[in-house]
Amino acid sequence: MSNTVSYTSDEGVAIITLNRPEKLNALNTALVADLEQALIRFRDSSDRAAVLTGAGERAFSAGADLDDNPMDLFRAVPHVGFELDKPLVAAVHGHVIGGGYVLAQHCDLIVAADTTRFLYPEAMIGFTGGISAGLAARVPLKHAMEFLLLGEPMSGERAYEIGMVNRCVPYGEHLELATAWARRLADSAPLVVQRLRQDCEDSVLRSPSERAARTRYNLSTVNDSKDYAEALAARAEKRQPNWVGA
């Protein structure tokens, strides 16, 4: 990884931080790749819960970096780009825009600071990744339509009122509360936590973009596998392949 995402761990709780504060933690190609690796590291580690947050006081994430727009953002979105069976808590503040909003919304729990301003401006600027359409399955439909179609900022307090976030607290307390929740989850029975969150996740209807992204990821795991390389080699050498299941 480069330094666009940091990963720290303390007694079973990981803190994953988007680390481009000078660019409002905008999502460029390097950050998306680093975030994917950080989340995979969390998935494969002994850490039992994690917090996702952003460096600096001004933003969790201002969304896609238009000077280096990542075309594969989906790869770093939990439960879209890959499966994650451990709880992930978002601690957001300041600007939470576009792709940054998508990242937060796909965490299991969200704690927002009272400085938070959610914004999904795609209808105003003329493009969309489509993954945010799943919001309609997570909050009441009319609120989702208002947020996505009008492209107007939504405060952390309003987001709490409509059920988009779990808590809205004073700035400075959001990371503390998110970490406390992650600690509580890490101290809970892991199999029960996994089962409960999966049951909740299974009840959410997926947008076509989410399903397509998941399919692309599943295909990439095959194409990047040892068995795929073995298939090509066996075909070239006119022999039976020796599968290893990986």
Segment 113-128 shows an average pLDDT of 89
Backbone angles phi, psi at 113, to 5 degrees: -75, 160
Residue type, 82: F
pLDDT tens column, 75-86: 889 878 778 899
Contact 54, 26 (CB under 8 A): no
Tell whether the model's pLDDT for residue 218 goes beyond 70: no
Specify the higher pLDDT residue, 53 or 243.
53
Lowest-pLDDT choice from 19-28, 146-155, 163-172, 224-233: 224-233
Longest Cα separation, the chain: 66
The mean-pLDDT minimum among 51-55, 92-96, 143-147, 215-219 falls in: 215-219
What is the arithmetic mean of pLDDT over 17-44? 96
On whether the CB atoms of residues 65 and 28 are closer than 8 A, the answer is yes
Domains and CATH numbers, the chain: 5-206 (3.90.226.10), 207-246 (no CATH)
| Cβ atoms of 86 and 175 closer than 8 Å | no
Distance CA 126, CA 114 (A): 29
For 223, the token pair is 């194409």
| Gap between the Cα atoms of 10 and 61, Å rounded | 24
Among positive and negative, which fits the CA dihedral 199, 201, 202, 203? Answer: positive
**Burial of 156 by CB count in 10 Å (0-12 exposed, 13-18 middle, 19+ buried)?**
buried
Strands 154-155 and 117-119: antiparallel
Q: How far apart are CA 146 and CA 139, in angstroms?
A: 11
The DSSP element (H or E) to which 10 belongs, if any, is strand 5-10
- Show the DSSP H helices in the chain as ranges: 29-44, 99-105, 122-125, 141-150, 156-161, 174-186, 190-202, 208-223, 226-237
Residue 171 to residue 155: CA distance in whole angstroms: 13
Q: What confidence tier does 97 reach under pLDDT thresholds 50, 70, 90?
A: very high
Q: Which residue has the higher pLDDT, 230 or 130?
A: 230
* Contact criterion met (CB below 8 Å) for 35 and 99: no
pTM of the model: 0.84
